[in-house]
Amino acid sequence: MSTQYPGGQVKTSAPAVPDWLSLQGAVAVVTGGGTHLGLAMATALTQLGAEVHLVGRRADVLESAVQTLRQQGASAHAHPADAADEAAMQIVVQRAWQSRQRLDVMVCNAGGGQGREMAPDIKVKDLEATLRNNLTSTLVCAQAGARAMMPARQGAIITVGSIHATLGSDPQLYGPEFKRSSQSYHAAKGAILNLTRALACELAQHGLNVNCISPGQIPKPGIDPITRERFTAQVPLGRLGLPTDLNGAVALFASPAGRWITGQNLIVDGGWSAW
């Protein structure tokens, strides 16, 4: 937006966020919020006006992320906790709610896979650990968030799946140094996707929206060149994803713009799953 002033001067200012997209005054909790996708989604929420509460197991990482957000003018807070621990997450939600007596958004992002073995050598202990990190944490956080949102009959719960919730993966695409998505990870993300649908149906009566974002290949820095090249060749849009590529999806599901959307899975993968 620009304004013309006498003498030919032009002053440019950022356009205001429209009401249907604004999160001004809202409170959001983001698990796994200290790095990568979680931090990117938290940043997007603050840019729409939300106060964010970051959850993670590494206190130093969380504090660094919070300081970065505060330097950008955001209201941000750190809560070191295990997202799969019911008692810990109930405390986190209570503290977040107390700041403004409300909770508007819960992003269930905590996750991660364990194990590298392929079938038929998958370790059951790796499956159990991966399910806890992803599926259990999603249920724990969704329910903790729902309890805080229900009195207001309004709130958005966002789960995080993956293209591997619905697709297998080709072992030939991975370079020797890349930690591939294990079958345990596929199973956990697939379960999150259908858990999202079930939660959406059951929490709709309380006015809550529950939706899933399924990212494609958005690697952390340092991905090996072989895997990068092979992955990129599989993306119709011709590049790998960036954490900020989730901004639109999280804004849609968190804001009033998504009020009539629930039980859905939005794949953000540059077209990977389209061919």
Of 39, 40, 44, 82, the C-alpha closest to 61 is: 39
**Hey, how many other C-beta atoms are within 10 angstroms of the C-beta on 146?**
20
CA distance to 43, 45, 206, per residue, from 243 (Å) = 10, 13, 32
Catalytic residue among 174, 185, 253, 272: 185
**Hey, how many other C-beta atoms are within 10 angstroms of the C-beta on 199?**
24
Token look-up 């929490």 returns: 203
Token look-up 């006498």 returns: 6
Distance CA 133, CA 202 (A): 23
Distance CA 119, CA 113 (A): 15
CA distance to 35, 122, 192, 268, per residue, from 159 (Å) = 17, 26, 7, 13
Of 126, 248, 244, the C-alpha closest to 185 is: 126
What burial class does residue 178 get, using C-beta atoms within 10 Å of its C-beta: 0-12 exposed, 13-18 middle, 19+ buried?
A: middle
φ and ψ at residue 14, rounded to 5 degrees: -70, 135
- Beta carbons of 41 and 106 less than 8 angstroms apart: no
185 is catalytic: yes
- Beta carbons of 166 and 190 less than 8 angstroms apart: yes
Positions annotated as catalytic residues are 185
